[in-house]
Structure 1
Amino acid sequence: MRRITNMRPNIVSEAGVSTRLNQWWENIPFLTSAVVVVCGIIYVVCLLVGYDSFTEVCFLPSAVISWFQVYRIYTSILFHGSMLHVFFNMTALIPMGSELERIMGSVRLLYVTILLATSNALFHVLIALLVAHNPIHPYENLMYECAIGFSGVLFSMIVIETSLSGVQSRSVFGLFNVPAKWYAFFLLVVFQLLMQNVSLLGHLCGILSGFAYTHGLFNFLIPRTSFYSSIESSSWLSSCVRRPKFIVCTGGNLSSYIPTHTSENSTSSGILPGNIWRNLSSFMPQRGVSAQTNEDSRFPGRGRTLGASQGQMASHLHSDSNLHASLLDNSSPNHPLESTLGTNRKLSGGRHSADNVPTATAVVPPPQGAIASEEGIKKLVSMGFDRTQVEVALAAADGDVNVAVEILMSQQD
C-alpha cells in the first residue's frame, strides 16, 4: 500500500463541477426549481418539434376578449421565444424566487404567482382596451401584440422583494444608485432600450401588479395560513411535501400578506460581485441589512423545510440570506412555534403581531457550532453521512450522537 504524505487541505473546495452544480441545485427550493425545469423542458420540446410561432399559447388581448381564451394567461408565462430568453428569465427567477419561497413557503408562493399572473393579464387587457378605444388617438396594435415569457411575473417579484427588503435605494452595477420605488421602472426602461421585441406593456403590468400586492389591494383574495396548511396536509401532495426542498408555510401572519417596510438612509449593495447566477440575471441586487425603525405590524410567516430541526432554523436565521437578517433585525417580537421531532421540542418560529403581544423577548436559536462537537461530526461523517446533514442532526439532537444517527437515518428513508 502506498502511503499518502501530502494531502491538499482545500480538497473539499476543489470538488468537481458536477458536485458543485448538484449542491447549488439542491439549495434551490421546490417550487422555484420546478418552474425552472418546466420552462426548460417546454422550450426544449418546442425547439425539437420546430414550434416557434406561439400564436396559440401567447397572451393575445384580442383573443382573450373575443374568444375568452383564458388559458393564454398561464400558458404565456411558461413559453419562451429563444434560448437567451428562457436562460435570463430563469437565472433571474432562481435567486429571487428562492428568497420569496423561503419566506412564504412553496404552496403560498405558487398561489401568489398565479395571482400575479392573473392580475398582470387583467391590467394588460384593461390598458390595451383603453389605448385602443381612446377618443383622442386610438391605437389598436396593443390588442394584437403576442406576448410570452415569465418576465412579467418577475417584475412583480422585483417590486415585492424591493418593498420587503426595506431599502431606500439600490445600486446598479456599482455605478450609481436608483431610488427603490423607481428601481423596477428603471429596469423596464433599460430593457426597452437594450433589447428588441420586449413587451413594454407586459413588463409594465407586472410592475403595477407588484405595487398592487405590496399596497394590500389583493388582500381580500389572499386566504389564511390554514388554507395553505390544509393543502400541504392533503394526500395528493404528500409526495411533494416529503421532499427535502419543499418549504412548508408557517408563521403568525394570518392574512399571508407580505407588508411593505420603511427605512431611513438605507442602501442595497450592487449586483456585480458574487454568485455568477446573480450577475447574469441583472434583475436581482444583493440585499443589504437596512437600519429601519418602523414596520407594518403584520409580518409574513417564515417558511421552513418539513421536519426542520432547531439547527436548521438557526442556520437559516444567521446565514441563509441578508434579507432574513434585515427582517430579523427590524421586526416585531417573536412568539414560540411548537414543532414535534422525536420528543416535544419547541422551536422559535412565527411571529405575533405587535398589537397582540405588548411585551416579549426575541428568541434566537443558538448557533450550530455551540452544540455540535467536532469529534461527533467526524464520527458521523466517517459513517458515510453528509457533513452538513450531520451538523444539522447534531444540533437538533443537542449533541447526542445516537439521537443524531436516528435523525439521519429517518431522513434517508
Structure 2
Amino acid sequence: MPSFPQFNPARLRSYIFRLPFATRILVVAIVGLWIATVPFPWIREFGRLEPAKMDLTQMHRLNLFPLLHLNFLHMIFNLLAVTPLIERFESEYGTLVTLALFTGPFGTIPGGLYTLLELYVVRSNTIVMGASVWVFLLLSAEVMKTHKTNPNFNVGPYKIPTWTTPLILIVVTSILVPHVSLIGHLCGAGLGYLWASGYIKFLVPPEKILRWIETKLNLLGRLPHYVSVDQKTYGRYGVLPTSSVPLGEVPGQRLGP
C-alpha cells in the first residue's frame, strides 16, 4: 500500500513561528476578522466588495475585502494557499514593501478594476470577498519567473506556455467551485503579471525612504522576524541577534529559503 506523509504538529508549529513579520500580521488579520464576524456578522457586510455600493464613502471595502471570508472553510483554504506565497514575497522584497502593497495597491487596484468591470461591462453586482485575489496575484507573479527559465510545459502532444498556468487554474476553479468570481480572480492575476513584468514597480516607496524608516524606528532591532528592505547590507532577515561568543568561533548559517 502507498505510504502517505503523516501530519506533524511540531513541523507546523515550527513553520508558523518562522513566518516573517508582515506575513504574520496579514494571517492574524484574516483569522481575527473571521473570528470577529462570528458574534458581529455586520463586519462582513461592512467590508465586502459590493460594486453597487461603491462611492467615495465606501473606499474602505477595497482594503478590507481580501481579509474577509464567507465562512470557516473559505477562510482556511485561502489561508493555506496564500500564506506561503506572501512569505516568499516578503522574503524577497522586505517587510515594509509587503505591508505597503498588501494594505494598499494589491487590494485597491484589483478591487477597483473589478468594480468598474462589474458595473460598466458585465452590468452586474456580484459581491466578492476573500484572499484568493492575492493567491492568483502572487501565483501570476511567481509563474512569470518560472516562464523565463521554462517557457513551456507538455500536456500530451501539446506545449502549454508556462505563464498561462494561473489562467488555466482560474478557469478550472470557476467551473468546479461554486460562488467563485472569475472576473475577480482575473483582476488579481492581471496585477500579478504587471508586477512581475516591472510595469507597476513605481507603487513601491523609494528604497532610500524605506531604509530611513527602518533606521529611524530601529525596526530591525525592535520587530522579531523583520525582513530588511536593504538586503545587500543587512541580509534577508536583518541583523541576527548577537551573543558574547565571538563570531569567528561559531559557524554561520543563512536563514530563509
Are 1:24 and 2:24 an aligned pair?
no
The answer (yes or no) to whether the contact 1:103–1:303 under 8 Å persists in 2 is no
Whether 2:155 is the aligned partner of 1:305: answer: no
Structure with the largest fraction of helix: 2
Partner of 1:388: none
**1:216: which partner in 2?**
198
1:171 deviates by: 8.5
Q: Distance in 2 between matches of 1:170 and 1:52?
A: 46
CA distance in 1, matches of 2:24, 2:129: 20
CA contact (8 A) 1:124 1:201 kept: yes
Deviations 1:336-372 (A, max 9, x none): xxxxx79xxxxxxxxxxxxxxxxxxxxxxxxxxxxxx
Bigger-Rg structure (1/2): 1
- Are 1:200 and 2:191 an aligned pair? no
Amino acid at match of 1:79: L
Structure 1 residue 72: deviation in Å?
Answer: 0.4
Shift of 1:196: 0.7
1:369 maps to none
CA distance in structure 2 between the partners assigned to 1:185 and 1:302 by the alignment: 37
Residue 302 of structure 1 deviates from its aligned partner by 9.6
Matched residue, 1:39: 30
Residues 1:397 and 2:247 aligned together: yes
C-alpha contact 1:162 1:180 (8 A) present in aligned 2 = yes
Show CA shifts across 1:15-72 (max 9, x none): x95543331212221111221121111112212x16178332111122213x541000
**Is 2:133 aligned against 1:152?**
yes
CA shift at 1:129, angstroms? Answer: 3.5
Please list, as runs of the form range in 1=range in 2, the aligned pairs for 1:383-394 lying within 5 A after superposition.
none
Structure 1 residues 226 and 157: alpha-carbon distance in aligned structure 2, compared to 1, 3 A threshold: same
State the TM-score, normalized to the length of structure 2.
Answer: 0.80
Structure 2 vs 1, CA of residues 193 and 400 (structure 1 numbering), >3 Å: closer, same or farther? closer
1:90 aligns with 2:65: no
Amino acid at match of 2:108: T
Code of the aligned partner of 2:134: V
Runs of 4+ in 1 over 6 A off after TM superposition: none
2:229 to 231, 234, 249: 249
Tell me the equivalent position of 1:9. none
Q: Gaps (5+ residues) in structure 1?
A: 1-15, 132-138, 253-300, 310-340, 343-392, 405-413
| CA RMSD across the alignment | 3.2
Aligned equivalent of 1:51, options 30, 41, 46: 41
2:52–2:119 Cα contact (<8 Å) kept: no
Question: 2:172 pairs with 190, 208, 211, which one?
Answer: 190
Deviations 1:255-280 (A, max 9, x none): xxxxxxxxxxxxxxxxxxxxxxxxxx
1:203 Cα shift? 0.6
**Take 2:234 and 2:185, find their aligned partners in 1: how far apart are those partners?**
28
- Structure 2 equivalent of residue 75 of structure 1: 64
Residue of structure 1 in register with 2:4 after alignment: none
- Alpha-carbon offset, residue 81 of structure 1: 0.6
1:228 aligns with 2:217: no
Q: Give the strand-richer structure, 1 or 2.
A: 1
Work out whether 1:140 is the aligned partner of 2:72: no
User: Is residue 2:113 matched to residue 1:123?
Assistant: yes
Question: Pick from 177, 181, 189: which aligns with 2:163?
Answer: 181
The one-letter amino acid paired with 1:75 is L
Please point out which of 63, 68, 80 is paired with 2:53.
Answer: 63
Q: How does 1:277-316 map to 2 (within 5 A)?
A: 304-308=236-240
Paired residue secondary structure (1:190): helix
Write out per-residue CA displacement over residues 80-125 of structure 1, whole angstroms, 9 at most, x where no aligned residue. 1111111111111122111111111111122232222121022112
Per the alignment, do residues 306 and 251 of structure 1 end up closer, same or farther by CA in structure 2, a change over 3 Å counting?
Answer: closer
Q: Is the 8 A contact 2:231 2:238 kept in 1?
A: no
Partner AA of 1:248 in structure 2: S
Does the CA contact (< 8 Å) of 2:36 and 2:43 recur in 1?
Answer: no
Question: TM-score, normalised on structure 1?
Answer: 0.52
The residue type equivalent to 2:249 in the other structure is G
Rounded Cα–Cα distance in structure 2 between residues aligned with 1:90 and 1:108: 20
Percent pairwise identity: 22
Q: Which gives a bigger RCO, structure 1 or 2 (Cα 8 Å, sep 6+)?
A: 2
Alpha-carbon shift at residue 303 of structure 1 (Å): 6.0
Distance 1:397 1:96, change over 3 A: same
Where do 5+ consecutive residues of structure 2 fail to align? 1-6, 253-257
How many residues align? The count is: 241
